Amino acid sequence: MAVSLVRVWDGRGDLLAFSGPGTERVRIETGRTARTSLTLRRSGLDAAAPPAPPLDEHVAVGPGEAPPAWLPCADVIVRDAPSRALAALRSDYPGCLVAAVASRSGGWELAVAGWRFALVPLGRAAAAAAAADDVASYASAVHAWVASGRPVGALGTATLTLARGRGGTDQGGGSDRASCSLTASSWGDFRTA
């Protein structure tokens, strides 16, 4: 998944038509009643879009090795080796809205628009660190959240649930699910931090 075009729909409409390889659902819960369901579809950069217009469309680089020429073009960067600090990554690639890096402690940190979040696995996934591919999906969902004008601060205590497969996060059955919570801190301007 080194470089992909990610298209995101807001969960309304005929989303089952978008099911299939490369399709994921991420549910974001920011409170007891505030839920947003997003459908993500990763594809090659030359893939045709489904007929419904997406809520968000962005280039994601990572996890894994990617040609360095793609990094300045990336809207989302995920690095699964704890070699770069979030501030340095954001400073080097100012066009990147969301960056996620593996921390030296084995967890993940995510940065967006003046905030730093820790991804904390929940439920049966709590014993293990979040997988890099899951983190890439969470980062893409956060990108869609921010690009659609939703407040970043609302994610400070959010729970994100990822489902792959035909069932999606709202239908039950047929899905591989993982959940993470976000804990946040304001971190100032990443270009100067």
DSSP string, 161-192: EEEESTTHHHH-SS-EEEEEEEEEEE---TTT
Burial class (CB in 10 A: 0-12, 13-18, 19+), 39: buried
Residue 193 located in a structural domain:
no
Count of structural domains, the chain: 1
Mean pLDDT of 149-167: 80
pLDDT for the residue numbered 75: 96
Residue 164 located in a structural domain:
yes
Residue 191 located in a structural domain:
no
Residue 158 located in a structural domain:
yes
pLDDT at residue 9 tops 80? yes
User: Quick one: which of 70, 12, 17 has its CA closest to 44?
Assistant: 70
pTM: 0.81
Residue 147 located in a structural domain:
yes
Range of the domain at 134: 3-186
Give CA–CA dist 143/3, Å, rounded. Answer: 16
Give CA–CA dist 185/182, Å, rounded. Answer: 10
